[in-house]
């Protein structure tokens, strides 16, 4: 869609313009989300993002995940530089069976692959976002070096500059980065990641089926998505992991490597939300160093 000069445009007007349909009632949800009813009886979710490239990154990520044929994501009805319109997913409750299936589906998503570590989705920008934090999708062929240079250290530097992480604490995180080649486990091919897989971005549909929303999609290490699920919790997490490992066994020692993969989201949260997450990041860094 073409950009328009519509700073005061509401979600309903954006939905009408992007979908080409007349709209009815609009119901604000949480944050920047608004549910809008279309004239054909369907409801869509309309999301506003003012950060440059944020909508483009999310739309490209949703299409890339959908293109794997492995996981369920809301259909993208349209987008422009400010607005994203997707299907509305009626929510339900997970079950042991649906959680196990989600694990299998997540394994299939990862196996669908990516060209390189850090590769953005086709049509997605290099300068993307994870939540409200900028995230650069710079590519690399070696995961330990790429992960240190483009996922851990940029957020560590920001946290130190903001006074959220102390210099002595930063030194422990830097030591983990230096040791990543020995700590990272066996080499893995680039996986197609959701990239921001905390439980709030996993919706359970009316039949208990898992739907993925709000991706920060890129090529990465498959254990990173699993580590984020473990970090922030997920209903029936053990069943999700059992389903995943039944479809795609993980290399020995993956549980011990979880701390390495959690450094990235914890430092992102430290930059966004402050000291509490910084302390968690330092704690998992020291845990990794103790191996």
The set of catalytic residues is 196
The tokens for 168 are: 């002595």
User: 5 Cβ partners below 8 Å, 6+ apart?
Assistant: none
**Of the candidates 251, 260, 252, the residue with the CA atom closest to the CA atom of residue 290:** 260
Mapping DSSP onto H, E and C, the string for 82-93 reads CEEEEECCCECC
Burial class (CB in 10 A: 0-12, 13-18, 19+), 225: buried
Phi, psi (degrees; rounded to nearest 5) at 113: 80, 175
**262/274 Cα distance (integer angstroms):** 16
């Amino acid at each position: 869609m073409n950009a328009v000069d519509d700073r005061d445009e509401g979600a309903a007007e954006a939905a009408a313009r992007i979908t080409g349909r007349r709209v009815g009632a609009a119901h604000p949800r949480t944050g920047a989300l608004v549910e809008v009813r279309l004239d054909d009886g369907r409801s869509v979710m309309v999301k506003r993002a003012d950060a440059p490239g944020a909508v483009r990154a999310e739309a490209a990520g949703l299409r890339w995940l959908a293109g794997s044929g492995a996981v369920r994501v809301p259909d993208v009805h349209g987008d422009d530089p400010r607005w994203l319109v997707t299907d509305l997913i009626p929510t339900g409750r997970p079950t042991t069976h649906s959680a196990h299936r989600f694990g299998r589906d997540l394994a299939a998503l990862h196996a669908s692959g990516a060209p390189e570590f850090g590769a953005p989705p086709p049509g997605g920008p290099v300068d993307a976002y994870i939540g409200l934090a900028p995230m650069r999708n710079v590519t690399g062929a070696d995961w330990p070096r790429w992960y240190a240079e483009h996922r851990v250290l940029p957020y560590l530097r920001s946290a130190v500059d903001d006074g959220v992480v102390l210099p002595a604490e930063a030194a422990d995180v830097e030591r983990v980065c230096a040791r990543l080649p020995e700590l990272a486990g066996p080499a893995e091919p680039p996986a197609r990641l959701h990239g921001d897989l905390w439980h709030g971005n996993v919706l359970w549909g009316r039949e208990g089926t898992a739907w993925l929303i709000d991706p920060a999609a890129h090529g990465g290490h498959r254990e990173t998505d699993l580590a984020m699920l473990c970090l922030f919790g997920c209903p029936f997490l053990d069943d999700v992991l059992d389903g995943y490992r039944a479809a795609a066994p993980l290399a020995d020692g993956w549980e011990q490597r979880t701390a390495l993969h959690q450094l990235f989201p914890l430092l992102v949260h430290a930059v966004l939300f402050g000291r509490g997450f910084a302390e968690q990041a330092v704690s998992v860094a020291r845990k990794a160093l103790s191996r």
